[in-house]
Each structure stands twice: as structure tokens, then as C-alpha cells.
A = this chain, B = another copy of it.
């Protein structure tokens, strides 16, 4: 490898591992010449490459500083990296649509399998992206423990980020996700207008993701603060926990009451429960549609996958075009109410 590329790699490495932080002034060209025993031409060539890639900026009379960008990075949408649990059925559906949208527009989508958020939090992964000049990343955050500092560092050296599925209040990325207020309000309206009896919400305990909090809160608002909410622990066996909760509620006399389930797995577990115990006095509504749901009668709020994919792609376009003028935003999309008849288990 040529001298100037070796030097460039050395400096990029130091920027990425924090030796030179965002906003720091690099050693002067003269100093770099002495440190690495290179001529000024070579040092300048290395710096020029980095300037071209937006990693540093130089001002005459002042020095060369590591880029510190609040805004987005003007790059190319040729390659987009998608970091997510690829085998999750919900994400698989999104992935399919997103890939179609991206490829219609000539973008190549690369996936990085994210097993339990390990890739999501991996410094190394993003460092490789930067080195390969991959500047567009779509993330699917499934945990509340997100290293926003890392994301912020990535943004500041020129990575465009879109968070998908959760509407975070953050200044490092655009987020595209379901309009949870709309979803809950629609389902609550369906239950209120079509069925008799109390409406209760079933959610997660100990899950602080925005979508769960927003749904919980929307339910409170829809019910005028009077609706009762019950929770199953996050991280356990959803099927078992849901069944246990419903049996307890039946014993305590809370049931029969109509159910509004916070997501697909909980809703599906509830549907199986109602089916097997023959509780036909309970109406079931769920946010998210899963294929297995076709067997059970319920009302589902279906996420508009194609629209979410388009909006996600559009946010990357916008970040690439707006550059420093970009401001982070939350982009909710609205789905549709689906009445599933239920053709019974096979």
C-alpha cells in the first residue's frame, strides 16, 4: 500500500478509537511530516483523501480538525446497511419491502445479522462501515439499552442513521415507526363501538421501549385514564405468561373483558388462550399482524410495511441531500384495521 494510504488509515484509526475526538485539531502537517518521517506532499495527500470523505476539514491558518457535524452527511445512497435480526418474521416483512424500494432506486442493501443487539452495539462493525465508505445505516432497536453516545459519535464523523420501528426522541437519527396513538385509538374505538363490557390493556412489564410506552399511554388517554392495564414480564415465555395472566384475571373476575394487546406475540397467545378455553365472551384486538393470526377471530391493526419501507428510504435520501441542514425527526406512519374472521386451527 502507498505511503499516503497507510498514513490515512493510521489517522482514521486514531479518530475512530478516540485518540482524536470530534472537533479536535489534528497535528499540523509539519508535525505529521516529522512524526511519520514523510514529506509534506505525502501528508497532504493523506489529509486530502480524508477531506474528500468528510472525515476532517481544514482551515487555512488554523489547522485540520476532525469533523464535528450536527447534521447529516452528504454521500451516496449506493449502499445501505441494515442492522437487524433478519430472521424475525416482523422484520423479515419490512426487509422485503425495504429491499424492493431500495433496489427500485438502484441502492444496494446489505444486511448485518444482529443477534440480541450485539451487532447493534458493536464499535467494530461501524468502523468497518466507515472504512468501506458505507455511510447509510438503518437500525432496528429491540432494546432500551442503546448506546446513543456511540451513535452520536458515528453521526459526528459522517454516518447517516435511521431508526426503524421505534419513535425515539433523539438527535442522532431519524426514526420511522408506527403511530401508536392512532393504532390504540382505532382498536379502542372498534371495541367500544362493536362490543359490550370493559376494555383492558395487556402490555409488558419492564420494557421501556418507546412503542410500548406510547401504546400504554395512548390506552390511558383513550380510556380517559380509567382503563385497567395488566402486564406480563418482558423477556419471559410470552405464550406461558399470557396464558397465566388471563387465567388469573378470570379467577379474579376481571374477565370477561375485551382485550387490547400491545403486540403480535401477546395477541396470538391470547387468541390461542381464548380458543382453547372457549371464552367467546371476550373480544380481542391486537397491534401487529402475524400470519398465524388468520386462524383466530380478532381485530388486528396492521402495520403498513411498504409505507414504512418507503419512508425509511426517504429519510436516508433526505439526510444525504440536506447535509448539515438536516434536523432529526420522528416519522409516524398509520396502519389499517383488519377484521380477521378466523378459520379455526387446522
A residues sitting closer than 8 Å to B (CB atoms) are 52, 74, 76-78, 104-107, 314, 317-323, 325-326
Assembly CA distance A320 to B105 (angstroms)? 9
Bound Cα distance from A127 to B78, whole angstroms? 26
Closest partner residue, chain B, to A72 (CB atom): B106
B74 in contact with A74 (CB, 8 Å): no
B residues within 8 A CB of A77? 317, 320-321
Given contact pairs A77-B317, A105-B317, A107-B321, enumerate 15 new A-B contacts (beta carbons under 8 Å).
A74-B76, A74-B78, A77-B321, A78-B321, A104-B314, A105-B314, A105-B318, A105-B322, A106-B317, A106-B318, A106-B320, A106-B321, A106-B323, A106-B325, A317-B317
Q: Are A76 and B320 in contact (CB under 8 A)?
A: yes
Q: How far is the CB of A204 from chain B (nearest CB, A)?
A: 35
Q: Which B residue sits closest to A317, measured CB to CB?
A: B105
CA distance A78 to B314 in the complex (A): 14
The 3 closest A-B pairs by CB, nearest first: A106-B321, A106-B322, A105-B317
Instruction: Output the least CB separation between A134 and chain B (Å).
Output: 14
Give the residues in chain B near A78, CB-CB below 8 Å. Answer: 74, 321, 323
Q: Measured between alpha carbons, how far is A248 from B105 in the docked complex, in Å?
A: 51
CB pair A321 B74 closer than 8 Å: no
8 A–B pairs (Cβ distance < 8 Å), ordered by A: A74-B78, A76-B76, A104-B318, A105-B314, A106-B317, A106-B319, A106-B325, A107-B321
Which residue from chain B places its CB closest to the CB of A77 in the assembled complex? B321
Question: Which residues of B sit under 8 angstroms from A322, Cβ to Cβ?
Answer: 105-106
CA distance A323 to B105 in the complex (A): 11
> CA A325 – CA B108 in complex, angstroms?
12
> How many Å from the CB of A79 to the closest CB on chain B?
9
- A318 to B107 alpha-carbon distance, docked (Å): 8
Taking CB atoms, residues of chain B closer than 8 Å to A105 are 314, 317-318, 321-322
Residues of B within 8 A of A325 (CB): 106
Most buried by B among A104, A106, A314: A106
Do A321 and B76 have beta carbons less than 8 Å apart?
yes
In the docked arrangement, what's the CA distance between A321 and B78, Å?
5
Q: How far is the CB of A176 from chain B (nearest CB, A)?
A: 14
For the complex, give the distance between the alpha carbons of A104 and B318 in Å. Answer: 7
With both beta carbons as reference points, the residue of chain B lying nearest to A102 in the complex is identified as B321
The residues of B that contact A321 with a CB separation of less than 8 Å are 76-78, 105-107
Distance of A76 Cα from B105 Cα, bound (Å)? 14
Q: Tell me the smallest distance from the CB of A280 to a CB of chain B, in Å.
A: 45
Determine the distance from Cα of A96 to Cα of B94 in the docked complex, in whole angstroms.
32
The distance from the CB of A78 to the nearest CB of chain B, in whole angstroms, is 5
A326 to chain B, nearest CB (A): 7
Minimum C-beta distance from A311 to chain B (A): 11
Nearest CB in chain B to that of A315: its residue: B105
Residues of B near A314 (CB, < 8 A) are 104-105
Nearest CB of B to A98, in Å: 14
